[in-house]
């Protein structure tokens, strides 16, 4: 308890006075689109078979994992890993990549292959109607020129929820079918908000979709390091309450989804590790951020499995809290 209290006190001190000015997560701005004709691109010599709607398990490719079809030419999966991942996208015929992850997309590798990137991050507890309309319009318009690949980090939860909501909202699949595809992706039952956006989706009229701006960003960012640290503090507080409840949803806080809070924490650490502020610090600082993201991701995986390993979860959380405290003691301003 004393260690956790010290952590939050130090976190507050650490955040004071630090502000990195950048575009807000939901902001729109003109993006540079590669207008070279499709015929000018040199696809891999051999195409690879795409996932099918009849698949009852995800497919893995070189550099891509957990790839599932939600409609013909609409795929959900993991973040592309290096050149191999982006080459696999080209081999699948993908023309547009939509990231719903918080981390900055690898726009450079996408551009090298004539792929357009759109970055529309969502949370682990679902997303609002505004973001849904943006995802629907982006996917509908992009699908007209070729297959679309939606991804988060692991490709199991957020991208599957986004893909499910999109195909149901466009009338390409029923809500029940969308939810069924989420289960194929391996979306954990604890992600109630993500399941809800697909299960409750209704067909949206074309006139409503057309009214949404099609000016989508290649990269969306948090408003600054302070904002990220504040959100991390909030996620830590929630996980403390969850731990007290035996790593279950606290009775007095029924809106908290344990696996979602751990996933959000991992996402925030990854995002801050790649941010301008972290890059200006010593390598040790960035590595602390990445290690924290890894431990948070371990918590997410463990919370998605039954039966819960209570002791192991608490030990992992204690390791994370201690690492953050040490980082704050060394680097607070």
Please write the tens of the pLDDT for every residue from 234-274. Answer: 888 899 999 999 999 999 888 888 999 999 899 888 888 87
Q: 58 versus 18: which is more confidently predicted?
A: 58
* Domains of the chain from N-terminus onward: 2-22+223-331 (1.20.120), 38-210 (3.90.190.10)
Residue 170's closest CA among 244, 65, 243, 71? 71
Model's pTM, two decimal places?
A: 0.68
Distance, in Å, from the CA atom of 153 to the CA atom of 176, rounded to the nearest integer, reads: 25
| Cross-strand bridge partners of residue 244 | none
Please write the tens of the pLDDT for every residue from 63-119. Answer: 999 999 999 999 999 999 999 999 999 999 999 999 998 778 999 999 999 999 999
């Amino acid at each position: 308890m004393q260690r956790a209290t010290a952590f939050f006190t130090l976190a507050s001190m650490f955040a004071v006075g630090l502000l990195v000015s950048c575009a807000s997560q939901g902001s729109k701005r003109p993006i540079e689109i590669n207008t070279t004709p499709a015929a000018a691109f040199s696809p891999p010599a051999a195409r690879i078979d795409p996932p099918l709607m009849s698949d009852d398990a995800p497919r893995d490719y070189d550099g891509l994992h957990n790839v599932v079809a939600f409609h013909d030419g609409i795929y959900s999966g993991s973040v592309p890993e290096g050149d191999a991942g982006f080459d696999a996208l080209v081999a699948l015929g993908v023309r547009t990549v939509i990231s719903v992850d918080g981390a900055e997309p690898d726009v450079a590798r996408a551009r090298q292959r004539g792929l357009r990137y759109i970055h529309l991050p969502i949370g682990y507890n679902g997303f609002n109607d505004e973001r849904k309309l943006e995802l629907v319009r982006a996917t509908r318009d992009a699908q007209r020129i070729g297959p679309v690949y939606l991804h988060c980090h692991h490709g199991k939860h957020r991208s599957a929820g986004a893909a499910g909501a999109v195909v149901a909202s466009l009338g390409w699949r029923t809500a029940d079918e969308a939810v069924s595809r989420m289960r194929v992706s391996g979306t954990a039952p604890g992600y109630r908000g993500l399941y809800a956006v697909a299960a409750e989706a209704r067909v949206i009229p074309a006139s409503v979709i057309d009214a949404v701006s099609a000016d989508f960003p290649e990269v969306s960012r948090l408003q600054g390091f302070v904002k990220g640290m504040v959100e991390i503090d909030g996620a830590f507080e929630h996980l403390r309450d969850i731990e007290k409840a035996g790593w279950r949803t606290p009775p007095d806080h029924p809106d908290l989804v344990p696996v979602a809070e751990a996933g959000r924490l991992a996402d925030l650490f990854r995002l801050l590790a790649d941010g301008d502020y972290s890059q200006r610090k010593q390598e040790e600082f960035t590595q602390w951020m990445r290690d924290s993201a890894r431990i948070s991701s371990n918590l997410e995986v463990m919370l998605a499995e039954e039966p819960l390993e209570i002791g192991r979860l608490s030990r992992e959380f204690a390791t994370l809290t201690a690492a953050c405290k040490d980082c704050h003691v060394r680097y607070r301003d």
